[in-house]
Chains A and B, each alone.
Chain A
Amino acid sequence: MRFSQALEVIRSRWYVALPVAVVIGGVLLPLVYLLLRALQAEPATLWDLVVRWRTVRLLGNTVGLTAGVLVGTSLLAVPLAWLTTRTALPGRQLLTLLGVLPLAVPGYVMAYALLATTGEYGTLAQTLGLVLPRLSGYTGAVIALSLSTFPYLFLNLRTAFLGLDPALEESAQALGHDRWEVFVQIVLPQLRPAFLAGGLLIALHVLGDFGVVSLMRYDTFSYALYIQYAASYDRIYAACLALMLLLLTGAILVLEAGLLKGLLFHRTGSGTTRASTRHRLGRWRWAGYAFALTVAGLSVVLPAGTVGYWMADSAATGLPWAGLGSALWDSVSASAPAAVLAALLALPVAYLGVRHPSTWTRGVERIAYLGYATPPLAFALALIVFSLGAVPFAYQTLALLVMAYALHFMAEAVGPVRSALYQAPPHLEEAARSLGKSPLGAFFSVTFPLVQRGLLVSVALVFLSAMKELPITFLLAPVGFETLALDTWSYAEEAMFGQAAPYALTIMFVSALFVGVLLLRERTAARRPASSQT
């Protein structure tokens, strides 16, 4: 039986057991501990804290923001995905890149750009004399989050569009339905799984977001948590808020799983898939370009331009080289060890999942993903409460921050290692064993060289993610520890746009590298099956 095999591996090999235990314990213990601590309070106090109008308003605002961003991202992503996959629009490869590039703009940089553009002191007012009302609150948050997260939906929809069997649409057309009917009755239903997958990522992102809502001052659970933490630190209330946020996240995960059930369409028959015929847009192509360029202008050019503009402002008074240097060093000193740790934890988790697939090993992988889905502010708060209660010497240390990064971003590390492991068949290790190697020796002499590339990608992804991370850093950074993300955010928070610019620029550069690694990985992944056939 697979389960007992996996158990046997765990029992006999400490180097698998230990990391798995760290992952399970690291993610679950703080959350459980948070729950226990909250429950220690007087039931009456708890009741007062949770059952009040403010909770309803926070819930309404959080759900409203999530819904707004889902609508906003759909309006951006659906037409762009269709344009780049279903039309013969010249330059669509470039448009695809423009649809991915916003991933290089973290939400708080996007929010910063919007704030610095609009209003009486904004870029528009200063350069064109155009005074737009300063974006803030719900509208500002929806716009900033939509512009920075729509690529998640765009990428999912693209894959779905490309994977659609063109024969379905052609059959519908041959049965007498025009293009619009075919799109609504046949194409859209097939896109539902992609909507759910992309929508889930975006919803988790919105629930976990702290940078945008704090800069736009929009009252959601995350914002309330931040206020609690920054101003009047009421631990019990903060724990309650975090738990309610976790509950909401859990509800969304369950909802998504429920909606996805029975939606996994299978292609009937097994014929080869043709690429679909692309629509020629004719005169409409100008509308297509106008749309794509507007999206790219708002999501990429606007933040880059704004940062550039304020950079010049900042350069006039002298760039803060010393501040930049120390922020960069702080960021790297936390992100680099976290990246290595995440990869080391991901390796045994992925190994168990690939070599001994069972409900149990899948469960361990799920926990890794749970760490990613948990809203970072809530996760960080749980870690604080846990460390204060259980391991007080760890509180406010770099080690705790590194640990938090690694557990939170581990899911990003599991993927590349998993796919690398699929390229290293178990027979290789068995052959090495029969030639006299120990299990660990066989792994390091045969499998490890083959998964090295995957591990490197994992390290790079986690490193770059941690470099731009804000909420966990905000709560867990040791005193006086100033990362690039923290500096960008705190200057932007005080509307000191010029001072924020150099930090924001560095962050965008790091994020662009992240996107580069992602794209490179996709390219090689796309090429692999083709080359293995020849």
Chain B
Amino acid sequence: MSDPLLSVQDLTKRFDPEAAPVVHEVSFDVEDGEIFGILGPSGCGKTTTLRCVAGFERATDGTVSLRGQMLSGPGVHVSPEARKIGIVFQNYALFPHLTVLDNVAFGLNGASEPEQEERAREALEMVGLGGFEDRQPQHLSGGQQQRVALARTLAPEPDLILLDEPFSNLDALLRQETRQEVRELLKSKGMSAVLVTHNQEEALSFADRLAVMRGGQIDQIGVPEDIYYRPRTLFVAQFLGRTNLLLSQAAGTEADTPLGTVGLNRDAEGTVLVSMRPEHLALEAPETSDGTTATVVGRSFKGHDITYRVCCHGNEYLVHTDNRHLYEPGDTVAVRPLEPAVVLESRSSPADVPSGATPEPEPEE
């Protein structure tokens, strides 16, 4: 395999020499043409990582290289304007005193005036904003501002673009549509990008590969499916949607869990914590099933499927099913695992975490 486009090695950033580092020995690579996501809760260090890559922050330790050229490292700090790395900010940061066209032309230094204008117009056409050249940015809608910001970043043809929560200022309907458009645009141009977000759905659908960060460190890097279905740590399992945690006794490929004996995704021994996504559990009639019996305590209908809350040995679990069978609260059912459970590494001892469904993640911002 060829050298990666962007290589970040053991990146560490401390703002205060006394305090814990905000980013601690973070390493990842971004391949040419790849969209890489960094996902984490606010304060996890993901934006600081991005700003170190952009050159706005000086890394305390570690290296950042682009196409094999060192941008940041011991005694080296290439200034942001010399990095050929573009950035789209959460609030777009359009220059309010310049027109849309002048905003987009701003990064086209060195070219003649007509050429700058020509290229800026092309960039605006590309994002579907031809005809908006003479507007002031504040007179555009949020979605249009976002596209101007993207055009401005793409116009100078940077080697890499950084996206700092670029969709979080759009309303929910527009967000999904814009995300898809931007992804298609980047893919069609073969652009490499790093996306920083706290929104798990956004990271899973936008990135080719992603890193989940917490407390300044990366917990796991992988393709979205891997991260979702095979979380390595308790944190990753919880952060990417609700799941059921089972305190289990493992013996090789199987474990004894509160929901009966379940296969494991990898060998383990002794007391372990395993995760079982709600869609990997099924409810069956207790007479015909060998699953563990439980009592339905709640049901919420969501159109395409139903989420049941069931109680088993005093703990509540979540089960997503399609809506062919209807159970009422109070019904006795059998819970059957459909997939092997995922063994989690935990920084704390597994026994500290109670079995049962994880709580609803707290909405951010």
Chain A interface residues (CB < 8 Å from chain B) = 165, 167-168, 170-178, 186, 189-190, 265-271, 277
Contacts and interface: CB of A to CB of B under 8 A. Distances in A.
Contacts of B91: 165, 167, 267-271
Interface string B48-91: 00000010110000000000000000000001111111110111
Given A167-B93, A270-B169, A271-B91, A173 B138 contact: no
B81 A190 contact: no
B97 interface: yes
13 contacts: A170-B80, A171-B95, A171-B152, A174-B80, A174-B86, A175-B81, A175-B109, A175-B152, A176-B109, A186-B95, A189-B97, A265-B97, A271-B89
A167 B89 contact: yes
Contacts of B93: 165, 167-168, 170-171, 268-269
A244 to B, nearest CB: 36
Interface residues of B, number: 35
Contacts of B137: 268
Interface string B139-169: 0101001000000110010000000010011
A271 B80 contact: no
Contact of A174 (B54, B96, B97): B54
Q: Which of A167, A173, A174, A270 has the most CB of B within 10 A?
A: A174
Contacts of A189: 97
B85 A268 contact: no
Q: Which of B80, B109, B156 has the most CB of A within 10 A?
A: B80
A50 B107 CA distance: 55
B92 interface: yes
Contacts, number: 93
A271 B42 CA distance: 14
Contacts of B156: 175-176
Given A268-B138, A271-B169, A277-B57, A171 B87 contact: yes
Contacts of A271: 89-91, 165, 168-169
Contacts of A176: 81-82, 84, 107, 109, 156
Contacts of B39: none
B30 interface: no
B97 A173 contact: no
B152 A173 contact: no
A29 to B, nearest CB: 42
A174 B81 contact: yes
B81 A178 contact: yes
Contacts of A167: 89-91, 93
A173 B90 contact: no
A265 B138 CA distance: 8
Contacts of A190: 96-97
Contacts of B83: 174
B90 A269 contact: yes
Nearest to A174: B87
Nearest to A271: B91
Contact of B89 (A170, A177, A178): A170
Contacts of B86: 174-175
A472 to B, nearest CB: 41
